[in-house]
Structures are given as C-alpha cells and as structure tokens.
Amino acid sequence: MDVLYDREEKSRLRAFGAIAEDGTRADFVVVQSEFFMGKAVVVNLLTGRAALLDRDDLREDEEWAIPLGISPSEAPTWRDALERLLPEA
C-alpha cells in the first residue's frame, strides 16, 4: 500500500435540519476543515450523498444540488440555507 495522505486535524461540524414551506425536508451536516482548500464537506443525511462546497459553488444549482441528491426544482429552497452554513471562498 502507498499511503497518499494521513492527516488529522480539528474541524468544525454543524448540523442543520429544516422543513420548507412546501413540506420538503433537509438534513445537512457541514464539516469545515483546512484540508479541502477552504471548501466544506456537505453531507445530505437524507440521501447519504456529499459534496465539497463553498458559497461560490451555489451560483449554479446543478453544480451542488445534483451531487447532493436534491432535485433542481428544490434547489432554490435550500440555496439560502446552505449559503448561511458555508464558508466564504
């Protein structure tokens, strides 16, 4: 085995759950670390899917919604919430 990296650090974790006015639910965990060049690991607990994101990535809904398992029609509902949770680029 060739180890590519083995790094340990303290990171910030934030959990967020909400129900939108239309009844859709979201449960996200956001892990902020120095390891991913300022991007956070965002995990959608309902789909089990994750993506590396920062606020700039939220400009195009398809760039972040599809990897997290969120339909493009639901993306605008959750964009504002994620913008508050994510670090600036």
pLDDT tens-place string over residues 42-80 = 999 999 999 999 999 999 999 999 999 999 899 999 999
Helix (H) / strand (E) containing 61: helix 61-65
- Work out the average pLDDT over 16-25: 93
pLDDT above 80: residue 89: no
Strands (E), the chain: 12-19, 25-32, 40-44, 49-53
The domains of the chain are located at 12-85
Could you tell me the pLDDT band of residue 88, with boundaries at 50, 70 and 90? confident
CA separation for the pair 61, 82 (Å, rounded): 12
User: Is the overall model pTM greater than 0.75, yes or no?
Assistant: yes
